[in-house]
Amino acid sequence: MASENVKEFTDQNFDNEVLKSSQPVLVDFWAEWCMPCRMLTPTIEKLARDYAGKVKVGKLDTDANRDVAIKYSISAIPTVILFKDGQVAKKFVGLRQERDFKEAIDAAASGPVASGSGSAGYESRD
């Protein structure tokens, strides 16, 4: 399931690996039997490679880790949640394009833009 850059999150390690992470964390909530989840796997793996060292990327099997799935009201899979500073920054339900994830990751990874810097930042509308 997990690859070199894709971590495996569980009920046991979720707090330390995701909520207490100093980096943004992209979590793919999935299940073995879910075909759309399997279709999303190459995108998640690519994001993990592209953002290695900047964003933590991982998967959580909702069948084996029901506590976290219930806590975040996962009622449909795939659901992908981007966490920043222990909070939900963005939630995606269903099969999505890579660019959707990248926009959210780039916004979260850039953090607040200092005023007067002259550079354009991303503003979350959620």
| Residues with active-site annotation | 34, 37
Question: d(Cα 123, Cα 60) in Å, to the nearest integer?
Answer: 28
Which regions of 45-124 does DSSP assign to beta strands (E)? 56-61, 79-84, 87-93
Sign (positive or negative) of CA dihedral 4, 100, 9, 59: negative
86 within 8 A of 19, measured Cβ to Cβ? yes
**What pairs with residue 79 in β-bridges?**
29, 93
